[in-house]
Amino acid sequence: MSKNIIVSRSHKSVNTTIQLTGSKSECNRALVIEALSKGKVQVTNVSDAADAVTLSGILREPANSGNKTTSATPEITEVNIGPAGTAMRFLTAFFTLQDGEVLLTGTERMKQRPIGILVNALRQLGADISYAEQDGFPPLHIKGGFEQKTNQITIKGDISSQYITSLLLIAPNLPQGLELHIDGELTSRPYVEMTLSMLQQAGIQHTWTNHVIGIAPQEYRETSIWVEPDWSAASYWYSVAALADEAELFLPGLTSYSLQGDSVITELMANFGITSQFKDGGVYLRKDPKPVVRKIFDLKSCPDLAQTLVVVCAALNHEATFTGLETLKIKETDRIAALQNELGKMGVKLIEKGQVYKLDCSERFIPERITIKTYEDHRMAMAFAPLALIIPEVEIEDPQVVEKSYPAFWQDFEKAGFSIREI
């Protein structure tokens, strides 16, 4: 689907069952654990999200992967991860433990996404990593195998949790293990907790005292890790329910005891009258119209829900304040700027004051048609698509970006009664 699409809907009630793909966040961690365990850990229900498919191809079938090619230098293997940011962070640490030399690269946008904090941490451990182009950014030249210099690293807590996870995933394989000191408040804490829980499923024990996470060198146990459906993907169906007049949806496989931080969407969307009932092996969503009163949303632990929540508030003409969005500017795109640009097309402003963002709906209007630019960002497409419940025609540019995390999104949208028309 390379052409733009028009999303529309003739009625405002939604009643359907949607089977979501496996969690990209869980799957990518599990795949690295599987590879580092040397066969002791097996991963099931692998996500069909493009990022997970890319990572699986590199880790499970390195000789055959279309993402891995030999460069002009015979001794160096080039690994191109495309736009997969998680793969870039996780493989940076992973390849420091492997034999041989690798040039780890990606798309032009990937070459603009900073990775210096992680590289500096790995260099402190003793890893041999150099920048092939611009300092602080991919592509990276990684020489595998190193003599560990220290087991103590300090890393800022308010940066991407993927840097921290990348280090934690290799910790059991380090001769001295790892003692990771978190400097300042930890943002995206649920993602770090997810990493440690999945390591624990594989038999890897840890300690977490105050701001220090410790993992000793240890062996993995034979086990199977089942990847739960993706709560991030579920968030868009909560958005649909919030914008519908009536909604009853069933999402199989989701549990109330999820490792995924984005499962907090159940609590966030309760503010918009969406009840979540866990039974029959999944979650039932139901819309019970109620006035929205909550004014402040702290998304520090779930920044991937920011676009969904901001768009829902704008659509419902609900002025709110958002905090915890510090990492949004270094994602697939600058998500703050992207939101400001696209919300402006319906007269809504997202005003930045330090680390606080205020939604101003005073000039909001509902156009007959709106065209949404996606900025090579899957979450922009999926967060804005539910606007078709209040705007007659929503045009989405570059709709195939959803393949990064939710390849079946547009098919599922059609299943739920939305009209999708290529133009």
Strand pairing of 296-298 and 321-323? parallel
The reported pTM is 0.81
pLDDT at 301: 85
Question: How confident is the model over 362-387, as a mean pLDDT?
Answer: 96
Output the pLDDT for position 326. 79
Q: Are 417 and 9 in contact (CB under 8 A)?
A: yes
Please give the torsion angle defined by the CA atoms of residues 51, 57, 58 and 61, in that order, rounded to the nearest 10 degrees.
Answer: 170
* Domains of the chain from N-terminus onward: 5-22+228-422 (3.65.10.10), 24-226 (3.65.10.10)
For the chain, percent of residues with pLDDT exceeding 90:
83
pLDDT interval class at 64 (50, 70, 90): very low
Q: According to the model, what pLDDT value does residue 16 have?
A: 97
| Catalytic sites, residue numbers | 304
Instruction: Report the chain's mean pLDDT, rounded to a whole number.
Output: 93
Q: Could you read off the pLDDT of 137-194 as tens digits, one per residue?
A: 999 999 999 999 999 999 999 888 999 999 999 999 999 999 999 999 888 788 999 9
Which range is most confident: 80-89, 115-124, 185-194, 294-303? 115-124
Percentages (nearest 5) of helix, strand, coil residues in the chain:
35, 25, 40
pLDDT at 88: 96
- Contact present, 99 and 38 (Cβ < 8 Å): no
Residue 329 has pLDDT above 80, yes or no: no
Mean pLDDT over 54-80 rounds to 73
Alpha carbons 365 and 380: distance in angstroms, whole number = 20
